[in-house]
Amino acid sequence: MDRTTPPTPPAPAAIVEDIDSACLRALAAGDTSAFASLVQRWQTRLINFFYRSTRNRADAEDLAQETFLELYRAAPRYTARGTFQRLYLYPGPPSLD
């Protein structure tokens, strides 16, 4: 009877970091230009997202600004747990209060 070596389990898949997560990690490390990059990349989409809900441009801009401020404040606590977009930008709008 031929004894064979059991197959080696596959190596865990490498975690691929998206550009936005890399920027957030850089922001957490103190690189403020990374925040500017995030705002530039997401500002228009975020305003449009809030505009579809509010139908008011000024409110949509305010909500986007509040979202970016929260993102900036939360950066030091950042841990990669999923896609940047789903976890940090569209979890739900902040309150208008």
Tens digit of each residue's pLDDT (9 = 90 or more) over 43-77: 999 999 999 999 999 999 999 999 999 999 999 98
The total number of structural domains in the chain stands at: 1
Q: Which residues form the domain of 53? A: 19-89
Q: Are 16 and 84 in contact (CB under 8 A)?
A: no
DSSP output for 12-60: PPPPPPPHHHHHHHHHHTT-HHHHHHHHHHHHHHHHHHHHHHH--HHHH
Domain harbouring 81, CATH code: 1.10.1740.10
Q: Does the pLDDT value for residue 95 go beyond 60? A: no
Q: Is there a domain that residue 13 lies in?
A: no
Q: Is there a domain that residue 58 lies in?
A: yes
Instruction: Supply the pTM of this predicted model.
Output: 0.67
Q: What does the mean pLDDT of the chain come to?
A: 81
b/e burial code for range 70-86 (CB count within 10 A of at least 16 → b)? ebeeebeebeeeeebee
Q: Is there a domain that residue 12 lies in?
A: no
Q: Is there a domain that residue 43 lies in?
A: yes
